[in-house]
């Protein structure tokens, strides 16, 4: 049996707890922040999330492997609800490289649009690399949650007004990179959060909600992903920044230090996780 895993001593733990439904309106401001927080993971599941002083004294925590999260913001893995992972002429090597890049930037689940007919073995390759994939048709609207793609707006030189309008009207909203092999080459949800704050007049809290729990709900996986609370799948990202409100000020910088997918460390900064050439 795999030993429990303890993510210990985060400067800020963003739980986004009570996310059984998409966050909307003022609830998008609520990140469930625990200062000096820790997570206890057993197998693929979070069993406790709370103040470090309480979590470390649990019996199971005493026998756990420890990831030191001091000085970090810990939050749910990013969910990117609309991207073209495969491209027009996919190769297994290319898919392995792209999925490794997703994990390196903290994205643990995606909605994959593709026009490739024989896509199944490419998708299975990506899943084997620890990224959960929901396969979408190009015309699909993920779960009817309004979706904004800040990179596309930036390239088009447009500022979509509907993002702020949706939030102010009490509607849920999700963020996506819109990554594809031809035009939008960034898969960084951190950059999407920064652009949402700079372009779309969203607060950083709203942008984080849109990139985590709301994006998960837009893919139909909001019951298991997008929050850090007992019973949820252990998809976790450690950002090397002391305060989540600083994320937009690091535009273009990858802050990810560690990524945990289904209770397993799948990326650690400074270690080589992709074995291709």
| Distance of alpha carbon 107 from alpha carbon 104, whole angstroms | 8
Helix (H, G, I), strand (E, B) or coil at 151: helix
Per-residue pLDDT at 157: 65
Dump pLDDT digits (tens) for 237-246.
999 999 999 9
Which tokens is 131 given?
């990224």
CA–chain centroid gap for 142, Å, is 16
pTM (2 d.p.): 0.91
H-run or E-run covering 162: helix 162-168
Count the alpha carbons within 13 Å of 137 in the hemisphere toward its beta carbon: 4
Question: What is the per-residue pLDDT across 242-275, written as a single tens digit (0 to 9) for each?
Answer: 999 999 999 989 999 999 999 999 999 976 544 4
Domains of the chain: 77-222 (3.20.20.140)
Tell me the longest C-alpha to C-alpha distance in the chain. Answer: 55
**Half-sphere exposure in the Cβ direction for 166 (13 Å, CA):** 23
């Amino acid at each position: 049996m795999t030993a429990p895993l303890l993510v210990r001593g985060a400067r800020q733990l963003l739980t986004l707890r009570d996310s059984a439904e998409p966050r909307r309106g003022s609830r998008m401001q609520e990140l469930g922040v625990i200062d000096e927080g820790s997570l206890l993971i057993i197998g693929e599941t979070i069993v406790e999330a709370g103040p470090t002083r309480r979590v470390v004294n649990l019996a199971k925590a005493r026998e756990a492997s420890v990831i030191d999260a001091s000085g970090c913001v810990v939050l749910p893995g990013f969910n990117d609800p609309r991207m073209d992972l495969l491209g027009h002429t996919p190769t297994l090597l290319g898919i392995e490289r792209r999925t490794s890049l997703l994990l390196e930037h903290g994205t643990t689940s995606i909605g994959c649009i593709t026009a490739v007919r024989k896509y199944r073995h490419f998708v299975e390759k990506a899943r084997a690399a620890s990224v959960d994939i929901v396969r979408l048709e190009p015309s699909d609207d993920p779960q009817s949650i309004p979706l904004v793609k800040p990179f596309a707006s930036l390239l088009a030189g447009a500022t979509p007004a509907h993002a702020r309008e949706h939030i102010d009207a009490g509607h849920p909203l999700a963020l996506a990179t819109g990554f594809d092999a031809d035009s939008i080459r960034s898969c960084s949800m951190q950059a999407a959060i920064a652009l949402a704050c700079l372009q779309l007049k969203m607060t950083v809290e709203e942008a984080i909600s849109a990139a985590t729990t709301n994006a998960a709900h837009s893919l139909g996986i909001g019951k298991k992903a997008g929050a850090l609370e007992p019973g949820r799948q252990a998809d976790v990202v450690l950002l090397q920044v002391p305060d989540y409100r600083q994320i937009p000020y690091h535009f273009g910088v990858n802050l990810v230090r560690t990524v945990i997918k289904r209770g397993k460390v799948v990326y650690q900064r400074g270690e080589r996780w992709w074995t291709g050439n």
